[in-house]
Structure 1
Amino acid sequence: MSDDALRLGLDVGSTTVKAVVMDGGRIVFSDYRRHNADVRGEMKRLLLDIRNRFPDDVLKVAMTGSGGLGVARMMGVDFQQEVIAATAAIERLNPEADVVIELGGEDAKITYLHPTPEQRMNGSCAGGTGAFIDQMATLMHTDAPGLNELAARFDHLYPIASRCGVFAKTDVQPLLNQGAAHSDIAASVFQAVATQTVAGLACGRPIRGKVIFLGGPLHFLPELRAAFRRVLGDHVHDYITPDDAQLYVAIGAAFLAGGPTLSLPHLAAELDSANEVSVASKTMRPLLLDDAERAEFLERHSRATVPQGEMADAKGHLYLGIDAGSTTIKSVVIDDEGTIVHSSYGSNQGDPVAAAVGIARTVLGALPAGANLARA
């Protein structure tokens, strides 16, 4: 086959799929979309969209990304390790870069390019990554772009843990309860991500020279890039933010694509007909193997029950218990016999005091006539 064939680079990440079609050194198609845990389905839809754009073409294909190996096996295409793919793109497009900082949905990487390439990557925890930013945005009733807009107006930075979403929530929730400005909290979240990435991955090795920002979070969130600049300070004399930073790994895969040319209908058919990827490691036994085990489980667990009643039928003394957690608030009303006559479970909406007051008002409004209000 000729070397001037179109090249397709596919990057399957933990939360997104990216595709780039290149004609020589020119991008003629690109897409970036969330797969919402349906990698196979979203990849098939993406391939069909590419086929609509190039109905009669055959392409050389390579796949990369943290979730790409299994899909590459399904489709029978070449797989390239993502650091190698990203480095290939940078060497071709930005050879002047010294250090790569890349954030993905559930991973973070720092790659030193000179004098010899050295890559640092986080472990299996998604703390300080795109998914972590999504978590914090949800806690503040917005999304990642909304968090970026808030952060642009900050006045003060608070210390927030970013190694784990649970730890971060224990820092953010009190700030919300105390009325801290959402703009300050948003900027503090980005600052925590930058600090975690640099401190956790650089491990003391200086980041100097020209830094290139890659990955969706750093591409779409300029305030996150500003947080990295604050953390890195004067050690870095220049920053590179490519227009297609979210696609660089897919671009690198396209540069590395070799082997036979394949048609897009063939790729979609291979993906559609493939069996699920076999897991190399030994998996745990399912909780319930069959309907008989399920029936036995339900029968055993139904032996211990808490009596339930209706608030309208409640009499005598009633007792209200409220459990205000970091993200949810729960309540139960019981009578003297221990019967549950009312219960609730919901989000605290970032303000557990107001949520508790709302529960109390709901309970008082639902009290039946004649209830002993002095002891309820």
Structure 2
Amino acid sequence: MNRRLNVGLDVGSTTVKMIVLDEEDIIVFKDYRRHFSDIKKTVTELFEDVHELLSSATLKFMVTGSAGLSLAESLGVKFIQEVVACTKAIKKYALDTDVAIELGGEDAKIMYFGTTVEQRMNGTCAGGTGSFIDQMSSLLRTDALGLNNLAQNHKEIYPIASRCGVFAKTDVQPLLNEGASKEDIAASVLQAVVNQTISGLACGKPIRGKVAFLGGPLSFLPELKKRFEITLNLGVNESVTLDHTQYFVALGAALSSKTSEDMDPHCLYDRMPSIYCESRDTSDLSEPLFKSEEAYAEFVARHEKHKVKRFPIEDVSDPTYLGIDAGSTTTKIALIDDQKRLIFSHYGSNEGDPLRIGVTKMLLSEILEKKDEIHKIVQKNKGNQVKVEMR
């Protein structure tokens, strides 16, 4: 008799997770990988990796996740909403849990357990989720794990908006401009995620008792979990320690698949080429900016006529004037003479650190090697801390 396997596939906004259980609910396969917006390729590769295991068994299959509905339809299998799937797994593996907090790539969930189960999930905004953390990490020129490592050495927490990445950036950028340490900003970003989850989902309802922390961000970023524990004032025995916390939604889908009909693995793999292959209507596409290569070449030639002419710095004897624009993301430098001729310029990223004036000093040294004297320097900057004085 063929072996029976229960498969749960969680296709989220940023990652794909798969759990395969045997008939005794023992995990025989698990996988977690980012799809980088190429869901079809990632899912196809995942099924190729698990082909040997699945091909010799009778399957029960269920899909979940924000990007899983169309996949379920293509494969002809059942779909389960992710909060329901997560609740199923908690009831099986963490029965003494009072509250569960689960963070994903673009969603956040809180589940209250008691005489009844209350489930809450964020709406259309991805503020305070994994994508928000990725965006803020990028602003600090690191990744999510780098952000976690920075936060370990923080000394101060700053208030940062978490409802929207754009609003958060308007809080983070001035802090960078004013010289706040990246360690403090990293911890503040994680605290913002905590605040958003508690205020946006709990909405004043107390989070008490034993609390389980689930999902990728809370599994891989211990500093984020620590911020939750501090904010909720949890005792040592109130923070529930579980295995496979990043897989819990997929695990719930696998458990729920027991109600599905048996599926032949060959039938499943035959349907794989059809996933995420919806036809697209191109009738409403906008007209191209340039109808031909010649039109583009004409556009480039027309704009080339208005380029600022540059003059060799060595040939200029007039007094020179240096302008420095230390912006929030880039540093710009321009050197002109009395005749307003451009003789030196620079445009480059400040690499997330507007106060790192080493680059500016290096450029000034390069200028002074060729030009002995600068008559006047004028500086514009986003922060008020940068001062360059030379005569």
Aligned-pair CA distance for 1:13: 0.8
Aligned-pair CA distance for 1:185: 2.9
Between the aligned partners of 2:272 and 2:297, the Cα distance in structure 1 is 38
Change (3 A) 1:370 1:6: closer
Query: What corresponds to 2:385 in structure 1?
Result: none
Query: What corresponds to 1:51 in structure 2?
Result: 51
Query: What corresponds to 1:353 in structure 2?
Result: 355
2:109–2:122 contact (8 Å) kept in structure 1 = yes
Between the aligned partners of 1:336 and 1:70, the Cα distance in structure 2 is 66
Instruction: Please state if 1:252 is matched with 2:252.
Output: yes
SS in structure 2 at match of 1:276:
coil
1:177–1:351 contact (8 Å) kept in structure 2 = yes
Aligned-pair CA distance for 1:308: 4.1
2:64–2:85 contact (8 Å) kept in structure 1 = yes
Between the aligned partners of 1:110 and 1:326, the Cα distance in structure 2 is 36
Change (3 A) 1:65 1:341: farther
Between the aligned partners of 2:113 and 2:106, the Cα distance in structure 1 is 23
Change (3 A) 1:312 1:59: farther
**Could you list the per-position Cα deviations for residues 175-200 of structure 1 after superposition, in whole angstroms to 9, with x for gaps in the alignment?**
44444444333322222211111011
The 5 A counterparts of 1:135-174 are 135-174=135-174
Query: What corresponds to 1:39 in structure 2?
Result: 39
Query: What corresponds to 1:102 in structure 2?
Result: 102
Greater mean deviation of Cα atoms: 155-164 or 169-178 = 169-178
1:211–1:236 contact (8 Å) kept in structure 2 = no
**Could you list the per-position Cα deviations for residues 241-271 of structure 1 after superposition, in whole angstroms to 9, with x for gaps in the alignment?**
32111001001111112123131x5444423
**TM-score, L = length of structure 2:** 0.80
2:325–2:332 contact (8 Å) kept in structure 1 = yes
1:102–1:213 contact (8 Å) kept in structure 2 = yes
1:208–1:235 contact (8 Å) kept in structure 2 = no
Between the aligned partners of 1:373 and 1:76, the Cα distance in structure 2 is 73
Greater mean deviation of Cα atoms: 106-115 or 312-321 = 312-321
**TM-score, L = length of structure 1:** 0.83
1:40–1:271 contact (8 Å) kept in structure 2 = no
Greater mean deviation of Cα atoms: 242-251 or 92-101 = 92-101
Change (3 A) 1:71 1:310: farther
Give the RMSD, CA atoms, in angstroms. 3.5
Change (3 A) 1:337 1:15: farther
**Structure 1 stretches lacking a partner, 5+ long:** none
2:310–2:341 contact (8 Å) kept in structure 1 = no
Query: What corresponds to 1:183 in structure 2?
Result: 183
Between the aligned partners of 1:165 and 1:334, the Cα distance in structure 2 is 39
Change (3 A) 1:60 1:181: same
Q: How many residues were matched structurally?
A: 371
Pair member with larger Rg: 2
The 5 A counterparts of 1:86-125 are 86-125=86-125
**Structure 2 stretches lacking a partner, 5+ long:** 378-391
Change (3 A) 1:275 1:105: closer
Task: Specify the code of the residue in structure 1 equivalent to 2:9.
Answer: L
Query: What corresponds to 1:126 in structure 2?
Result: 126
Change (3 A) 1:67 1:125: same
Task: Specify the code of the residue in structure 1 equivalent to 2:277.
Answer: E
Between the aligned partners of 1:332 and 1:72, the Cα distance in structure 2 is 57
Task: Specify the code of the residue in structure 1 equivalent to 2:350.
Answer: N
Between the aligned partners of 2:57 and 2:183, the Cα distance in structure 1 is 49
2:177–2:328 contact (8 Å) kept in structure 1 = no
2:40–2:276 contact (8 Å) kept in structure 1 = no
The 5 A counterparts of 1:46-85 are 46-85=46-85
